[in-house]
Amino acid sequence: MPDKKDIRVALIGFGLGGAYFHAPLIAAMPGLTLATVVTGNAERAAQALRDYPGVQVMGDPDRLWRHAADHDLVVISTPNRSHVPLALAALDAGLAVVIDKPFAPTAAEARLVIAKAQEKKLVVCPYHIRRWDSECRTLLGLLERGELGRVLRFESRLERWRPQPKAGWKESTDPLDAGGMLYDIGSHLIDQALYLFGPVRDVYAEIDIRRAGAATDDDVFVALTHLNGVRSHLWTSCLAAQTGARLRVMGDRAAFVKQHGDVQEAALRAGGRPGQSGWGEDPPERWGILGDGATQRAIPSLPGAYQDFYAGMVRALRDGAPLPVNPEGAVAGLAIIEAAQRSAAQRAVVALA
């Protein structure tokens, strides 16, 4: 692909994910053009035309496949059950693909998508955007500098207060919908743990339905033992009226605690864009604390950088650079989700093959 030619992107889905977590980042990234939005919802179509003048709106993916030659990359931000069929269709149409989390409902289906991409000599990339959360980037810097020593335990929470279930496919019990908090938020937590601490040996999980009227899991704890000995303890819940620390990481030299999470989601929902002054920056009162038992100091947060995902996609498509997220990581994460489901059902630790 010539260096000076923008990569023309078709975004399928313009709900919360498409409108706030993809379109603004695509539009702000040099080298990308948001050429097409695919949505059958008239209100969302009007929003896309209003927010991105010049964008083309199509009512269904079949029309997109007929115009595949006018595009280079498809981004899939649709209900979970459609991720795999849309990805396979896009690859058959000769287009590179980005798939929002979860990459697929099962690890086996994820492998099918990856195999199709290899067959077509195209790229497919999971949208595991929270690797570029401020707290994840800051912790990675501490790890690379050895400031914690040997890490013993990684504690990570993404919790919310939503005591009333909402209607929609995320509350569906059909396995094809991959509903519930384990798939929704657990996908992020597991991916961050794999990214920071590597492959996992065994999994223990507690997966519960706590809210009256809920049908899918809404309170989840997953414990991972990594091959390097680190233990990751991961929590997500809809019933956290008081949330715990976003991160607590204990090493044999020091510990790092960060109470507050990344600011980019709120900024995107409020209309913010990468490139604006202060993008992704934590104010000092939100910085994490590094302590060694005798002293402690605030660690300035590295800015959150969701835009780096799409910068990586530009390099991958133009220059053949490595993808910003290896799709095999998505397979590993889905295998952990499946092991967590078995663990919760058996009330036992489950070893990964």
Percent of the chain at pLDDT exceeding 70: 99
User: In this structure, how many other beta carbons lie within 10 angstroms of the beta carbon of residue 52?
Assistant: 19
Confidence (pTM): 0.95
> Over the stretch 75-104, which tens digit does the pLDDT of each residue have?
999 999 999 999 999 999 999 999 999 999
pLDDT (0 to 100) of residue 169? 83
Angstrom CA distances, 25 to 5, 19, 317, stand at: 18, 10, 17
The string of pLDDT tens digits covering residues 269-310 is 999 999 999 999 999 999 999 999 999 999 999 999 999 999
2-27 tens-digit pLDDT: 345 899 999 999 999 999 999 999 99
73 occurs within a structural domain: yes
Is there a domain that residue 314 lies in?
Answer: no
Residue 229, burial from CB neighbour count under 10 angstroms (0-12, 13-18, 19+): exposed
Same-domain status, 147 and 59: no
Domain annotation covers residue 160: yes
**Domain-terminating residue out of 103, 127, 151:** 127
The range of the structural domain enclosing residue 264 comes to: 130-308+335-351
pLDDT at 98: 98
Q: What is the pLDDT of residue 205?
A: 98
pLDDT band at 44 (very low <50, low <70, confident <90, very high): very high
Predicted confidence (pLDDT) at residue 1 exceeds the cutoff of 80: no
Mean pLDDT within 207-231: 97
Residues 103 and 164 in one domain: no
* Distance (Å) of CA 252 to CA 121, 224, 249, 293: 45, 19, 10, 11
For the purposes of burial, counting CB atoms within 10 Å of the CB of 50, is it exposed (0-12), middle (13-18) or buried (19 or more)? exposed
Q: Is 15 exposed, middle or buried (0-12, 13-18, 19+ CB in 10 A)?
A: middle
Instruction: CATH number of the domain at 245, please.
Output: 3.30.360.10
- pLDDT tens digits for range 174-185: 998 999 999 999
| 128: pLDDT strictly greater than 50 | yes
Instruction: Please give the Cα distance from 20 to 39 (Å, whole number).
Output: 15
What is the Cα 247 distance to its own chain's centre? 17
Average pLDDT over residues 188-193: 98
Nearest-CA neighbor of 95 among 118, 56, 65? Answer: 65
Tokens standing for residue 61: 């993916």
| 302 neighbors 308 (Cβ within 8 angstroms) | no
- When pLDDT is cut at 50, 70 and 90, the band that residue 222 belongs to is very high
Are 135 and 274 found together in one domain? yes
What pLDDT, on the 0 to 100 scale, is given for residue 2? Answer: 36
User: Same structural domain for residues 122 and 152?
Assistant: no
- Please state the domain count of the chain: 2
Q: What is the pLDDT of residues 342-351, one digit of tens each?
A: 999 999 999 9
Which whole number is the average pLDDT over 202-215?
A: 96
Q: pLDDT tens, 152-172?
A: 999 999 999 999 998 888 888
* pLDDT of amino acid 213: 92
Domain ends where: 94, 127, 160?
Answer: 127
Looking at every residue in the chain, the average pLDDT score rounds to 96
Over 80: is that where the pLDDT of 243 sits? yes
Report CA dihedral (161, 164, 169, 172) to the nearest 10 degrees.
110
Last residue of a domain, one of 127, 144, 166: 127
Q: CATH number of the domain that 23 lies in?
A: 3.40.50.720
55 and 154, same domain (yes or no): no
Distance between CA atoms of residues 274 and 304, nearest Å:
10
Do 80 and 185 fall into the same domain?
no
State whether 110 and 207 are in the same domain. Answer: no
Please compute the mean of the pLDDT values over residues 54-64 and round it to a whole number. Answer: 97
pLDDT at position 3:
44
Does position 118 have pLDDT exceeding 80, yes or no? yes
Residue 156 domain flag: yes
Radius of gyration of the chain (CA): 20
Provide the pLDDT for residue 4. 58
Nearest CA to 59 out of 73, 41, 47 is that of 41
